[in-house]
Amino acid sequence: AQSVTQLDSHVSVSEGTPVLLRCNYSSSYSPSLFWYVQHPNKGLQLLLKYTSAATLVKGINGFEAEFKKSETSFHLTKPSAHMSDAAEYFCVVISISGGSYIPTFGRGTSLIVHP
């Protein structure tokens, strides 16, 4: 079984300040973890992924995430928010080593960036 909890439904930051979007997961197997971003009226775009290599993963647009097995977390961070980062962000888990290729999405975190 697998599940994802995105701890905040909305996060509001000022432009130029750090971003933290929190994600906790549950998986009976070694998980693969992803962050996707969805801008209004656009398709889901992959930001970054963890697939059992380096625990600190760097993605596009300055985002990064750290896989912490002991905390079952995969929080997404960015040092300095930009107005264009305003979007919906989804944390996703897949338990590939358990033989399943079915991803479970979190409910999403809406990132609001103030000028």
Q: Are the beta carbons of 87 and 36 closer than 8 angstroms?
A: no
Q: How far is the CB of 79 from other proteins (least distance, A)?
A: 25
Q: Give the residue with the Cβ less far from other proteins, 19 or 35.
A: 35
Q: Which is nearer to other proteins, 15 or 64 (CB)?
A: 64
Question: Least distance in Å: CB of 16 to other proteins?
Answer: 28
CB of 13 to other proteins, least distance (A): 20
Residue of 107, 84, 108, 94 whose CA lies nearest to 34: 94
Positions that interact with other proteins (CB under 8 A): 32, 34, 36, 42-46, 49, 51, 90, 94, 96, 101-108
Whole-angstrom distance, CA of residue 11 vs CA of residue 69: 24
Q: What angle do CA 71, 17, 69 make, to 5 degrees?
A: 10
Least separation in angstroms between residue 105's CB and other proteins is 3
Distance separating alpha carbons of residues 59 and 63, to the nearest angstrom: 5
CB of 20 closer than 8 Å to CB of 6: no
Cα–Cα dist 4/104, whole Å? 7
Nearer of residues 14 and 97 to other proteins, judged by Cβ: 97
Is the CB of 1 or the CB of 46 nearer to other proteins? 46
